[in-house]
Amino acid sequence: MARSDLLISLVQAGASGDSKELATTVEAIIAEERARLAEQFKLWKARAHQSAAM
């Protein structure tokens, strides 16, 4: 889940009509989620590899 500070920035930018800040915040949220999913995938892959080795 996105950090609360990013969600607050997202709402503020949307409410104020600041499209540049809105885009920047959305990009930051996407980058964080992408990194989180990549880490989860690495863990899943490592577990699958360990299970296959047994």
The residue among 35, 32, 29, 33 whose CA lies nearest residue 13 is 29
The string of pLDDT tens digits covering residues 11-48 is 999 999 999 999 999 999 999 999 999 999 999 999 99
Asked whether the CA dihedral 24, 9, 28, 33 is positive or negative, the reply is negative
Number of domains in the chain: 1
pTM of the predicted structure, to 2 decimals: 0.78
Give me the pLDDT at residue 1, please: 65
Q: How far apart are CA 50 and CA 26, in angstroms?
A: 36
Give me the pLDDT at residue 42, please: 95
Enclosing domain of residue 44: 4-53
Query: Which one is predicted more confidently, 50 or 15?
Result: 15
Give me the pLDDT at residue 22, please: 98
Q: How far apart are CA 10 and CA 24, in angstroms?
A: 9
Give me the pLDDT at residue 49, please: 84
Total residue length of the chain: 54
